[in-house]
């Protein structure tokens, strides 16, 4: 199936073959044949569109879908036009496969009806595009063909880039062409699939220019003339063809040695051809060049009564491309339109824009034309531009909103309300949303050079701070200035201190400072009547206090939940509901925690708040894991991770929780890989708080994998990190019992007891009953290691009962397992004079409890222990110590791939398990071979077997 938005050249200029591009054409075709993507780049007129069309035609087949779009500079400010070209003809085929929110968002974007907004529910739209491509790919391979990528409207470009980065092994390929005249193509490559091959089109040789001209029928031309054409065109095929056309149509040929009788720039060639048009036809083309999406109907509405005949004349001259299936007119090359517009007198251009300001159907386009038709300040024009900016913002095109905001500011009188700088600041905030941090910062700093109103200055400083992103340390010098500008205004100061709270956490890693700043921000916001900032600050304070084990945490949570509430804050993942959930789950109130997070998840799904949905899925998975519903937790954790990767939000945190769930109910090797991935994310981000969580997950997975020494290494680091951060509540990470158990296994009961005693003091103070029970389980192992088997048995029996009553099913099962193992060991090796331990030496109870939890990795350990007898220990790590040591020097992804090779996994199996492409696996293995000094997969397998690689 082909969704056609074909790219057709003017009559008499469409080649049947690609001349001078045979080698790169073969390379690009081979890349597409392998399932990869291609990005063609080069200057205007170099032949990108020709190669793109030939490659697309070569790809077409009965079981394949080809989606096409092209754009022009005049269209680039209108959102979703390219998206409409791509999906307009296939929407009915895929809409049934999309979730309701995604289907609504996509239909609204394509039709212009409804309320599809990237600012409010943009991730639903992003995911809709991704889901639509996956739905099409389920029926057969898909090729997305995008010409003139540089002119794609910002919204469509963002959505395509979002999908491209997340398609993985889905059979969707991209074939794009982008103009890179004086620009780098890297930013376009970053928005393409990871396996994209970048192909640069350079100038043609003299021989190739001659063959091209001959093929187009511009013969006979002398060798010297062809040499002059090649020199004048610089080998650019479009320029060469235009020169050849002009010469072929000229009655007088130049004499040898004379310069060509035509100008050497494309603009001049275009203008020369325009002279063949009538004055009215040229005026009609000028209107078309100014329009964003010109149609014959639009030209009629703009006063061009004979638009059909005049555009037909332009098409016959090769100025317009013809496509019977496309209602919009398209110039044969964007430079033709640009040259025509640039050469028109300013007064004539303004008249054209004035006509289009009433003829255009889209309110954004009408406002833009009105601005370009107006000189000087005009409050009415400024207001219409501001309204158009708000509409663009609502449509999910913040970059368009930013440009309209700047136009609005330019037309706003200095004494208006709102004033020009206020509108510039709105444009800056739109630029932040659009990811154009540099533009936002430049606008804000420009406003700061003249703004005197404190509110405007603080608002500008907030833009500067937000533009820094995670690099808040780089704007440290801003905070004293913004505090000075805020003066004694409590509302302004509240915003500043809320940012300072985040700085304390992100830059300093100081929970006490973050808590203090958040409390101050809440107090200031309350004084100034800014309820939203007050609630956000209180929620931040409550979460910080909870993690610190601060005694005020319950009171702060209640304050954050007090009415009146702000609906946005109430269900935000950093809001009051989230703070309450954290308190409940750390206080062992699992049913209430589940009810709270389930309600929050339902609400954010209703609102389409995908970022909060990622976090709340993870929170619910954590709740189910603690409750011993390990299978349900694994499903939720995998859903959260999939959504996180699709949306680019919370990937590290979701990988961390997925690791815990995999180690409890799924694949232990995958749990190890995910924990290392989460740790790498945190290391890169400099996030010490989440690094400790990731390492705690890694330690747990290592314990389940039967590697207590590695568990101790990981969890000792967690202990150091949390002590440094000031995290004192053991209910947060719950790794302390695992560390103590691993220490016992490696023969360090003294250190294990120290961990238990230190943690118990905090748990007693905070009333963390489940933590106390787990610590008692670990202490029973310490007692057994020291010979007090009877005391250990009594302690374990009590612990199992307490954990069962608290609702911690998995921890209850682990206590039953430890109890059965202790009884089995005592029965096998009775000590002289010792009384027999009460109770059956059987693993049946532990197996029953693990089976109820669907804790498959633990159940396998029970089966192994029951089969091997009382001396059995947990299964050893997959690879021997020598192999593990060899892998330590590798990066996280390299370790994961090498470990899976050790297990005998194929490249395709590795790619599926790690959610990467086969090509990425191959490239990673090449780096592994180099770092380990080996030559093949066989050598990695030899490492796994403890043999010396050949």
pLDDT at 212: 87
Q: Report pLDDT for 948.
A: 47
Contact by Cβ (8 Å): 690, 678: yes
- For the beta sheet containing 65-69, the strands, ordered from the edge strand earlier in sequence to the opposite edge, are 2-3, 65-69, 142-146, 172-179, 38-42, 197-200
Short-list 28, 86, 21, 35, CA closest to 55: 28
pLDDT in tens, 559-605: 988 889 888 788 888 888 888 898 899 889 999 999 999 999 998 88
Query: Tens digits of per-residue pLDDT, 650-659?
Result: 788 899 999 9
- Is the pTM higher than 0.95? The answer reads no
In degrees and rounded to multiples of 5, residue 352 shows phi and psi of -65, -45
**pLDDT tops 80 at residue 23:** yes
Both tokens assigned to 948: 């010396």
- How far is residue 117 from each of residues 102, 390, 607, 656, measured CA to CA in Å? 12, 11, 12, 31
Find out whether 434 and 402 touch, Cβ atoms under 8 Å.
yes
Euclidean distance between CA atoms 522 and 576, whole angstroms = 13
Least confident of 374-378, 455-459, 900-904: 900-904
The pLDDT tens digits for 858-880 are 999 998 888 865 543 333 334 44
Res 447 pLDDT > 70: yes
Q: Is the pLDDT of residue 305 over 80?
A: yes
Q: What angle do CA 665, 592, 505 make, to 5 degrees?
A: 80
Q: How far is CA 333 from each of CA 8, 182, 266, 574, 633, rounded to the nearest angstrom? A: 11, 18, 11, 50, 55
Mean of per-residue pLDDT scores for the chain: 82
**In which residue are the tokens 């990981």 written?**
714
Average pLDDT in the 92-99 region? Answer: 86
Whole-number pLDDT of residue 913: 60
pLDDT > 90? residue 156: no
Q: Alpha-carbon distance 507 to 939, whole Å?
A: 44
- Angle of helix 363-373 relative to helix 398-411, nearest 10 degrees, comes to 30
Residue carrying structure tokens 């954990």? 803
- What SS3 class is residue 705? coil
Average pLDDT over residues 620-628: 95
pLDDT, position 688 = 76
More confident residue, 3 or 678: 678
* pLDDT tens per residue, range 231-281: 767 788 887 887 787 777 776 665 433 445 544 455 665 666 777 888 888
3-state secondary structure of 510: coil
| φ, ψ at 93 (rounded to 5°) | -75, -25
d(CA 782, CA 393): 62
Cα 541 to the center of its chain, rounded Å: 28
> Span 820-834, mean pLDDT?
71
pLDDT tens sequence across 341-400: 767 888 888 899 999 988 988 888 888 888 888 888 889 899 999 998 888 877 757 678
Kind and range of the H or E run holding 414: none
């Amino acid at each position: 199936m082909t969704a056609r938005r074909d790219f057709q050249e003017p009559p008499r200029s469409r080649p049947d073959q690609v001349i001078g591009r045979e080698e790169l054409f073969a390379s690009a075709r081979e890349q597409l044949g392998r399932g990869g993507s291609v990005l063609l780049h080069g200057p205007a007129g170099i032949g990108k569109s020709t190669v793109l069309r030939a490659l697309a035609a070569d790809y077409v087949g009965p079981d394949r879908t080809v989606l096409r779009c092209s754009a022009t500079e005049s269209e680039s400010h209108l959102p979703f036009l390219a998206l409409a070209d791509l999906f307009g003809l296939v929407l009915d085929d895929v809409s049934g496969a999309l979730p309701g929110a995604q289907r609504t968002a996509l239909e609204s974007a394509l039709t212009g009806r409804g309320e599809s907004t990237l600012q409010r529910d943009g991730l639903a739209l992003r995911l809709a595009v991704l889901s639509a491509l996956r739905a099409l790919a389920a029926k057969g391979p898909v090729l997305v063909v995008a010409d003139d990528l540089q002119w794609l409207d910002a919204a469509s470009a963002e959505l395509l880039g979002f999908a491209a980065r997340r398609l993985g092994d889905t059979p969707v390929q991209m074939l794009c062409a982008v103009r890179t005249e004086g620009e780098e193509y890297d930013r376009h490559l970053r928005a393409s699939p990871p396996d994209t091959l970048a192909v640069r089109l350079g100038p043609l040789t003299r021989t190739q220019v001659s063959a091209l001209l001959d093929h187009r029928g511009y013969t006979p031309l002398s060798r010297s003339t062809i040499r002059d054409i090649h020199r004048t065109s610089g080998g650019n095929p479009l320029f060469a063809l235009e020169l050849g056309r002009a010469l072929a149509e000229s009655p007088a040929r130049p004499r040898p040695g004379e310069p060509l009788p035509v100008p050497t720039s494309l603009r001049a060639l275009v203008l020369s051809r325009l002279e063949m048009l009538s004055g009215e036809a040229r005026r009609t083309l000028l209107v078309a060049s100014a329009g964003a999406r010109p149609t014959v109907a639009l030209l009629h509405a703009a006063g061009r009564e004979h638009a059909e005949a005049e555009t037909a004349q332009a098409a016959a001259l090769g100025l317009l491309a013809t496509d019977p299936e496309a209602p919009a007119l398209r110039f044969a090359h964007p430079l033709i339109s640009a040259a025509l517009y640039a050469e028109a007198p300013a007064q004539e251009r303004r008249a054209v824009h004035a006509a289009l300001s009433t003829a255009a159907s889209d309110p954004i386009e009408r406002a833009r034309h009105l601005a370009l038709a107006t000189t000087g300040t005009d409050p009415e024009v400024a207001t219409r531009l501001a309204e158009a900016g708000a509409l663009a913002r609502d449509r999910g095109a913040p970059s368009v909103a930013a440009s309209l905001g700047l136009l609005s500011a330019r037309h706003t009188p200095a004494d208006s309300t709102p004033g020009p700088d206020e509108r510039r600041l709105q444009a800056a905030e739109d630029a932040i949303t659009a990811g154009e941090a540099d533009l936002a910062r430049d606008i804000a700093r420009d406003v700061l050079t003249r703004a005197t109103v404190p509110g405007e200055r603080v608002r500008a400083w907030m833009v500067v701070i937000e533009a820094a992103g995670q690099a808040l340390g780089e704007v440290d010098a801003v905070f004293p200035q913004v505090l000075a500008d805020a003066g004694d205004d409590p509302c302004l100061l509240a915003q500043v201190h809320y940012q300072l709270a985040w700085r304390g956490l992100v830059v300093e890693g100081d929970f006490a400072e973050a808590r203090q700043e958040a409390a101050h921000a809440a107090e200031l916001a309350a004084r100034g009547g800014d309820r939203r900032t007050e609630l956000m600050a209180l929620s931040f304070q409550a979460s910080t206090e909870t993690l610190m084990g601060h005694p005020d945490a319950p009171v702060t949570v209640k304050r954050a939940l007090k009415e009146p509430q702000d609906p946005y804050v109430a269900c935000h993942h950093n809001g009051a509901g989230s703070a309450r959930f954290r308190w409940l789950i750390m206080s062992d109130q699992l049913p209430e925690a589940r009810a709270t997070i389930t309600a929050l998840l339902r609400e954010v799904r209703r609102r389409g708040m995908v970022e909060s949905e990622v976090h709340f899925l993870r929170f619910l998975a954590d709740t189910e894991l603690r409750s011993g519903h390990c299978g349900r937790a694994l499903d939720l954790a995998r859903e959260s991770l999939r959504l996180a990767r699709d949306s680019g939000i919370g990937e590290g945190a979701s990988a961390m929780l997925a690791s815990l769930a995999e180690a409890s109910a799924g694949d232990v090797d995958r749990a190890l890989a995910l924990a290392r991935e989460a740790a790498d994310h945190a290391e890169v981000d400099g996030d010490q708080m989440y690094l400790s969580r990731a390492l705690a997950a890694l330690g747990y997975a290592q314990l389940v994998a039967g590697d207590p020494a590695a568990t101790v290494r990981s969890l000792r680091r967690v202990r150091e990190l949390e002590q440094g951060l000031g995290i004192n509540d053991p209910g947060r990470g719950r790794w302390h019992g695992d560390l103590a158990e691993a220490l016992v296994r490696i023969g360090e009961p003294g250190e294990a007891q120290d961990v238990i005693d230190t943690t118990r003091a905090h748990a007693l103070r905070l009333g963390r009953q489940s933590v106390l029970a787990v610590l008692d389980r670990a202490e029973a192992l310490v007692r057994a290691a020291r010979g007090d088997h009877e005391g250990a048995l009594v302690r374990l029996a009590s612990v199992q009962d307490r954990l069962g009553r608290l609702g911690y099913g998995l921890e209850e099962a682990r206590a039953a397992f430890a109890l059965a193992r202790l009884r089995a060991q005592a029965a096998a090796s009775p000590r002289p004079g010792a009384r027999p331990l009460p109770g059956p030496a059987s693993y049946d109870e532990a197996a029953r409890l693990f089976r109820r939890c669907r804790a498959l990795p633990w159940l396998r350990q029970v089966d192994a222990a029951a089969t091997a007898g009382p001396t059995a220990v947990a299964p050893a790590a997959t690879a021997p110590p020598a192999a593990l040591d060899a892998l330590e020097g590798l990066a996280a992804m390299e370790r994961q791939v090498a470990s899976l090779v050790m297990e005998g996994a194929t490249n395709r199996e590795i790619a599926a398990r790690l959610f990467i492409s086969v090509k990425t696996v191959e490239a990673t293995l090449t780096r592994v071979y180099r770092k380990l000094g080996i030559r093949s997969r066989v050598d990695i397998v030899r490492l796994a077997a403890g043999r010396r690689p050949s």
